Structure 1
């Protein structure tokens, strides 16, 4: 078992969590993430898995570096993140208060007139890459008094663009396949449309979704004391347990069992712990 992070006790009262969007906007926004490590929090890493989404993050207070130490470049106060094809890390120098909106990449491409592929594996200053129509929103979210007001600002912005789910309950990849025309175009044409809309192939998107589902299932099973890796791998369409292990190391940066353990003992894995 992993030894507890020496500074973990200082994060016990961190305000960290995931907020889900209203159903009508579920075709554009995957989630909102809040993170305030609180007074006395120590410098620490923030680890993130490979993921197909696009993000906008406001660092409302504190300093965050784009790397694994304070020697790495300092990130801007508001950054845009593209899809990540590999695990990534940032370094927080001390107390951090941040707020993130997680967009589905195809919706973000429409909202921001940006190709997700151009943002892949990067965190970029928001004002340098987002169109001028976003700049007042960036200021409004930064000035909002609390996370509820920040969500309200973003919800109003998305609603004004007309990005509303026609079928809120339809899974994202199914919506994406239908929008790409898999039912009327040849597979190669539809695949090109998906890559253009998301920056990744449908296969890569499926792999990311499969691992996310498996890790959420593993976290729940571990909490109940019923975790059996071979059974979980089979239930989530991996060929076997070693296949799950390879995918987890590639997309999340560590082996599955170690990842589940680190969620509880290493604060740098806070996102894995709170994601749902």
Structure 2
């Protein structure tokens, strides 16, 4: 109902998605699901902005009442003594991030108790060990670690973004030797990247760090012809890399085997039975019996 209200107020899927911190596709999907459940059409999609049908108008007062009631219930049970559940997150594909947060973490934790922290993998690991994070989503594989336990939830194929020059046009794959002389553009400490990428890092001693808050920062460096960067194959759907619009950038596979980087949901072993950590883990194991592949 909250999604319906947001769309009715804004008339735009994009604006509703921004207000609710969801992907636009999730807004459209949920509206279709609601219409199917009710057996009526709620929005006239032939108009811009989208407008309510007669059935949608009739439902609006009840929708507002339902949302207000849930907000009241949440307020009644929210207390200052309820500690937040702190979840570390690195850059993730937008659709995957929404699915994970909305269908796994938030239902188990509750909206008011969830605190998402944008942190790189090494920072997350350190904070998990000191109990300053309850859960982390990171790249590092801690197999055999006495303190940390993990569940693989995402596998991403990574490519190399290189300058759009004749030097790289003729290459079908980029090897570590091919990037000698370039600078690495990255928004994280390069040695946070998994070991599979370290042969390339050894050939890239010059690094320019980009503040993740700078929109298109990596893309601006890549387009100058002097930089390269590791990017996920779904880079246009990633929160730290914007889509390219004709800039001088080529995407090339790295040498075989192509790097696949795994994201792990990570927690302290001795906290597995704590509520709501255990509830998140139960949902995650059901939703990700195998990691999602992208």
* Alignment TM-score, normalising by the size of structure 2: 0.26
Q: Which has the higher helix share?
A: 1
Higher relative strand content: 2
Pick the structure with greater CA Rg. Answer: 2
